[in-house]
Structure 1
Amino acid sequence: MNAKRRIALSVALLTAGLASGQIVQNLSDDPASQLAQAEPTPTAITHLAAKSDAGLATPVTALPPPGLPVQALAPAETPPPSVAAAEAPKAASPLLAAIAVGKALKGAVAPALQSAPIELARLETPELPQPAPLAEPVPDVVANACPLTLDLAPQPGAMLGITLLAPCQSNARVVLKHGGLAVTAKTSGSGSLFLTLPALDREGAVSVMLPDGKTAEAQLAVPDLDAVQRFAVQWTADDNFQLHAFEGDADYGTPGHISAADPHLPPAGAPADGGFLTLLGDATVDLPMLAEVYTYPAKPGVTARIVVEAAITEATCGRDLLGETLVSSGGAVTVTDLTVAMPQCDGTGDILVLNNLAPDMKIAAK
């Protein structure tokens, strides 16, 4: 009797388990559509206690195929209320309860998720002031604001035409150097300087220096210097010398006498017909550097005699005069120091004459 009851109870539990598995499978595909079918009529269990031994032989109703609701094993009998009440909670398993809760939550959350979008408050962005336009870049012309240029040009008679442009150096003292010669000059109000310089060497290198230390250099070859001979004397400030040349048989004041008073300069751009004297240097600047350059005649057979004079004045008496002589022959330059011991000041008005231009020069009073 007990064995039969256990068998019947096992069959009922197996039937309920298969039904639950079928419900889970169906609800996994579509929980909403399967929920209605997930609540089948509780399977009727034969009340074994009320049956006689003969009724126990009744065959067990076959299980329905998967996917169909489980039918009552004994539709003819209605289970006692106690058994139905006990089995009803099993039909509403936790899985079915969770599905029902999920369905309810889905219905409650979906409208919330589909609610109208939240409109954010519009922030008013203040209008920023337009940036000021960038200033045009200033060209880097500081370095060229005060250009310094030196140009050389060939001139007849082995002369060099010099052009100096220094816009920021108006009325400025300029030191000009070439071939051992050093003289001062002065720029114009516009900072320009134009002069003609006798070439002393073939290279024709010339340099200038301004008061602020700026320098400029230029070079121009002088190929026709081989046919020219030159003699020069230079000094500084009050150490004054005078150069005299006597061509042929000339004497003081006669034709052929060449000096600062009558330099015999050829017309501009024209070749010289004889010897001539070039006066160099500006005596109006501070610490003037002066020179006189004599160019020998280019005519063959013409000779010239040269003397250097030093006047005895209050500025030169009683001291030594310092200077230099320069000889240019065939493009080669020889520079020699010149020192003259001047007489005392009681001889003011006299003139010292240097007759020989050799290294052992002698000074004689005139």
Structure 2
Amino acid sequence: MPKTRLIATSVATLSCALGVGYFMQRTGGPETTGRMAASVMLAPQPAVTAEPLDLSQIILASAPADIAAMDAAEEPMVIEPQPLALPADCTVSVAASTVEPASVALDIAAPCNRNDRITVHHSGMMFTLATDTTGAASVTVPALNSDAIFIVETPTGGAVASAEVPSLSDYDRVALQWTGETGLQIHAREYEADYGSGRHVWTGHAESDGPVGGSVVRLGDPDTLNPRLAEVYTFPASRAVESGTVALTVEAEVTEANCGRDIAAQSITPRGAESAPRTRDLVLSVPDCDAKGDFLVLNNLLDDLKIAAN
């Protein structure tokens, strides 16, 4: 049965003091497999006497002189690698179109950056993607500003796209971003629901089972070099049918990749069309590797959402 305990964890933040709970969830010990050792006795075998081998009438053969000379003259074949042919036009382009919920679909073309790492920038949020064999990539990004501007950066250039997202005011939204394998996650317990319920929304349960609920999306490709990743939680506040609170926490699972080191993250909260999103920075000291499988819960990095029925 899972056990829960609370310990003090060192957390530094540039803008607020955070309360950190440390919840443990462990499974049983590894199974033990028994092995049996068996001894085998071998009975002695009678000696075998070999008959003498007749080596008479032996004929020696050799390759003809012309074939032997040809083999000696041959040199190993060397195949030179051929450079990848690139198109004459290496212009990077981005097409942006508004989609719901208050998001922008990006279609990226970088013909000279095939199977390459690219970075998408939007209102302070950054995440990395990998292009395909043609240099293309597609992603749908929850907007953090109604006048949404996106910058796509490649190793050889970049492009800018923009889109109007007037429906952003109908949603409450918050983002979290980080670099590398931190184990960080956004957890939203809508109307203060219990963990594991239908209204506990996170990447493991991306959409709420409530009548009108929120969703979490993760942005970025974790397989890119030094990946930048982000998660965005969205709640359709304008369609809420009941009043209450969405309890928001940032949680980090202790893993082999993050144990015993400091991890950094940043929260981003939109503040309407007239203001830039608000950001908060976090540096968290993760416990040693003996705590692998446990979760750190940070209660105050993200502000809870107050929902009014409409």
TM-score after normalising by structure 2: 0.64
Structure 1 or 2: more helix by fraction = 1
1:327 is aligned, of 241, 265, 269, to 269
2:198 is aligned, of 241, 245, 255, to 255
Q: Aligned partners of 2:139 and 2:259: how far apart in 1? A: 33
Moved more, 286-295 or 329-338: 329-338
Q: What is the CA-CA distance between 1:149 and the residue it aligns to?
A: 0.8
Instruction: Report the residue type matching 1:296 in the other structure.
Output: F
Tell me the SS of whatever aligns to 1:356.
coil
Partner residue, 1:311: 253
Partner residue, 1:210: 154
1:277 is aligned, of 190, 207, 216, to 216
Instruction: Report the residue type matching 2:231 in the other structure.
Output: E
Higher RCO by CA contacts (8 Å cutoff, separation 6 or greater) = 2
Tell me the SS of whatever aligns to 1:346.
helix
- After the TM superposition, which residues 124-273 of structure 1 pair with which residues of structure 2 at under 5 Å, given as runs? 145-212=89-156, 214-264=157-207, 273=212
Q: Aligned partners of 2:176 and 2:192: how far apart in 1? A: 23
Tell me the SS of whatever aligns to 2:141.
strand
Tell me the SS of whatever aligns to 1:335.
strand
Tell me the SS of whatever aligns to 1:204.
strand
Q: Aligned partners of 1:224 and 1:144: how far apart in 2? A: 40
Q: Aligned partners of 2:264 and 2:193: how far apart in 1? A: 29
Instruction: Report the residue type matching 1:286 in the other structure.
Output: L
Q: What is the CA-CA distance between 1:339 and the residue it aligns to?
A: 1.0
Q: CA RMSD in A?
A: 2.3
Instruction: Report the residue type matching 1:172 in the other structure.
Output: D
Q: In the superposition, relative to structure 1, how do residues 224 and 318 fare at CA in structure 2: closer, same or farther (>3 Å)?
A: same
Q: What is the CA-CA distance between 1:265 and the residue it aligns to?
A: 8.4
Q: In the superposition, relative to structure 1, how do residues 159 and 260 fare at CA in structure 2: closer, same or farther (>3 Å)?
A: same
Q: Would you say the 8 A contact 2:87–2:111 is kept in 1?
A: no
Structure 1 or 2: more strand by fraction = 2
Deviations 1:165-215 (A, max 9, x none): 122222111100001100001112221111100000122000011122x01
Percent sequence identity over aligned pairs: 36
Moved more, 295-304 or 256-265: 295-304
Q: What is the CA-CA distance between 1:358 and the residue it aligns to?
A: 5.6
Q: What is the CA-CA distance between 1:330 and the residue it aligns to?
A: 2.7
Q: What is the CA-CA distance between 1:346 and the residue it aligns to?
A: 2.3
Instruction: Report the residue type matching 1:178 in the other structure.
Output: H
Q: Would you say the 8 A contact 1:265–1:277 is kept in 2?
A: no
Q: In the superposition, relative to structure 1, how do residues 264 and 175 fare at CA in structure 2: closer, same or farther (>3 Å)?
A: same
Compare CA radii of gyration and give the structure with the larger one.
Answer: 1
Q: Would you say the 8 A contact 1:229–1:329 is kept in 2?
A: no
Partner residue, 2:78: none
- After the TM superposition, which residues 63-74 of structure 1 pair with which residues of structure 2 at under 5 Å, given as runs? none
Instruction: Report the residue type matching 2:119 in the other structure.
Output: V
Instruction: Report the residue type matching 1:317 in the other structure.
Output: C
Q: Aligned partners of 1:265 and 1:159: how far apart in 2? A: 18
Q: Would you say the 8 A contact 1:164–1:194 is kept in 2?
A: yes
Tell me the SS of whatever aligns to 1:189.
coil
Q: What is the CA-CA distance between 1:155 and the residue it aligns to?
A: 0.5
Tell me the SS of whatever aligns to 2:147.
coil
Q: Aligned partners of 1:351 and 1:249: how far apart in 2? A: 19
Q: In the superposition, relative to structure 1, how do residues 358 and 156 fare at CA in structure 2: closer, same or farther (>3 Å)?
A: closer
Q: In the superposition, relative to structure 1, how do residues 258 and 153 fare at CA in structure 2: closer, same or farther (>3 Å)?
A: same
Q: What is the CA-CA distance between 1:143 and the residue it aligns to?
A: 9.6
Q: What is the CA-CA distance between 1:275 and the residue it aligns to?
A: 0.7
Q: In the superposition, relative to structure 1, how do residues 203 and 166 fare at CA in structure 2: closer, same or farther (>3 Å)?
A: same
Partner residue, 1:46: none
User: Matched residue pairs, number?
Assistant: 212
Query: Is structure 2 residue 232 aligned with structure 1 residue 288?
Result: no
Q: Would you say the 8 A contact 1:312–1:347 is kept in 2?
A: yes
Q: Would you say the 8 A contact 1:228–1:330 is kept in 2?
A: no
Structure 2, gaps ≥5 residues long: 1-85, 304-310
TM-score after normalising by structure 1: 0.54
Q: Would you say the 8 A contact 1:265–1:278 is kept in 2?
A: no
Tell me the SS of whatever aligns to 1:224.
helix
